[in-house]
Amino acid sequence: MKNKVIVTACTLLAMATASAQNAYDAEKLLGNDLNGTARFVGMGGAMGALGGDISVMSSNPAGIGIFRSNDVSVSFGFNNTSTKSNFSGVSMNEDKTRASFDQIGFVYSNKIGNNTSLRFVNFGFNYHKSKNFNRLFSMGGALDNMSQSFQLAQEMERYGLTESEFNDILDAKNPYTKYWNQLPVLGVMGVRTGVVDWFNDPEKNIHAPWGWNGFNNNFFSKETGGISQYDFNVSFNIEDRVYLGATLGVYDVNYDRYTSYTENLNDDKGADNWGYTLDNYYRLEGTGLDLKLGVIVRPIESSPFRLGFAVHTPTWYDLRESYNATLSSDILAYEKPYNQTLSDFLVTPEYDYLTYDYNLTTPWKFNVSAGTTFAGAVAVGAEYEYQDYSSSKLKDVDGYEL
């Protein structure tokens, strides 16, 4: 049995609005999936005191000190992702199974002597997938004249868009940098593609941006990537009673998310042969580093019972987010289809508006474990982990908290 206690606070998710996206995606990096050798996974990862398994170097580094011979391990597996949705009575399913290369590692066991206090000095390396982000999701159905275009129009109105600014957005060579931090970027894209139009009704004294009636919609999301973890271990066996170990962890983060949202729109006669599609592209990449220290003790020399303790430093991540979006429309009221891609306007020689660098520091982690074997054939282990997520920190590259 492996029991985790996590003190959860709103530190990451209650950040300022400007950094909400950073907080949401940084939260994906906290914690880790149960992955590793078949034995480690079969034990639920509760091997911190038992040791003797290559995957244990990521939870209690002292467990590698129990090895008395060299070892190599390779593990494969299958990942299944399944999602279901129901919108306006329309059900959609996404189900995908793929093979995965989960782990490869080795231990080099160096015997010092039988009569010395230091019996073995072992070295180990292990690669495994710390996190798997692969997921598919889709949904769609009837809109009954609702549309995201009205939301975009209302946002532009809320920001005080005037008719002269509306016309300037249409005519300007690059309205995105001109109105950066003044108007919603997606709203500007809507104006440029005809998804948001301007409505004048002098009789009702209405002069405002407006949208279109929606007929139906479809949403698709695809997430790929994960965190690859590379552990480098050194461990010591002292008189076959005390085992000490240290593991340096190196992390490689790669996460991609693509979403596509399509609406078919109605004209006044109910025709639905035109609409728009919004494609969003997001990437999170970076590296991380941490250090893990552990100890295992056999308190009774004649008993296989062991106690373990490990402490993990925070993982220090250097991260980079990059965004892009394309809004394409085929509005019958206009002469031709319109297409706007943000990178065409917001990636300039002077500044890249679509890339953001920041740092994430995860919490300290403490691990207490116990384990024993019976007749050399049955192993029983238990672990207790404590990690206070409220101590996680997001900072920009200048050191200011987000």
Residue 331: pLDDT band (50, 70, 90) is confident
| pLDDT tens profile 252-278 | 999 999 999 999 887 655 555 689 999
Distances (CA, A) of 322 to 24, 122, 286, 289, 386: 14, 41, 11, 22, 33
Question: Would you say residue 402 lies in a domain?
Answer: no
Quote the number of domains for the chain: 1
State mean pLDDT over 126-130.
Answer: 95
Question: Would you say residue 202 lies in a domain?
Answer: no
Residue 1: pLDDT band (50, 70, 90) is very low
**DSSP per residue, 42-94:** HTTT--TTT--SGGGGGT-GGGGGG--S-EEEEEEEEEEEEEEEEETTEEEEE
Question: Would you say residue 173 lies in a domain?
Answer: no
> Domain limits at 23?
2-147+212-315+362-396
The two structure tokens encoding residue 349: 């020689």
pLDDT at position 332 is: 62
Question: Would you say residue 282 lies in a domain?
Answer: yes
**% the chain with pLDDT above 70:** 88
Residue 21: pLDDT band (50, 70, 90) is low
Whether residue 22 has pLDDT greater than 50:
yes
Question: Would you say residue 336 lies in a domain?
Answer: no
| pLDDT tens profile 136-170 | 989 888 888 889 999 999 999 998 888 999 999 98
Whether residue 337 has pLDDT greater than 70:
no
Question: Would you say residue 177 lies in a domain?
Answer: no
Q: Look at residues 385, 325, 391 and name the one whose alpha carbon lies nearest to residue 354.
A: 325
pLDDT at position 272 is: 56
User: pTM of the prediction?
Assistant: 0.85
**Lowest-confidence pick of 32-41, 232-241, 357-366:** 32-41
State mean pLDDT over 23-45.
Answer: 85
- How far apart CA 262 and CA 277 sit, in angstroms, is 4
pLDDT at position 341 is: 94
- How far apart CA 104 and CA 73 sit, in angstroms, is 6
pLDDT at position 2 is: 44
Whether residue 19 has pLDDT greater than 60:
no
- How far apart CA 218 and CA 90 sit, in angstroms, is 11
As a residue count, the chain comes to: 402
| pLDDT tens profile 200-228 | 877 777 788 988 888 889 999 999 999 99
Question: Would you say residue 350 lies in a domain?
Answer: no
> Is residue 147 a contact partner of residue 211, using CB atoms and an 8 Å limit?
yes
| pLDDT tens profile 64-121 | 999 999 999 999 877 767 677 676 666 767 777 777 888 999 999 999 999 899 999 9
> Is residue 195 a contact partner of residue 274, using CB atoms and an 8 Å limit?
no
Question: Would you say residue 231 lies in a domain?
Answer: yes
Q: From start to end of 143-212, where are the E strands?
A: 197-201, 206-210
State mean pLDDT over 116-132.
Answer: 96
> Is residue 361 a contact partner of residue 346, using CB atoms and an 8 Å limit?
no
State mean pLDDT over 58-68.
Answer: 97
| pLDDT tens profile 372-383 | 999 878 999 999
- How far apart CA 360 and CA 276 sit, in angstroms, is 37
**% the chain with pLDDT above 90:** 59
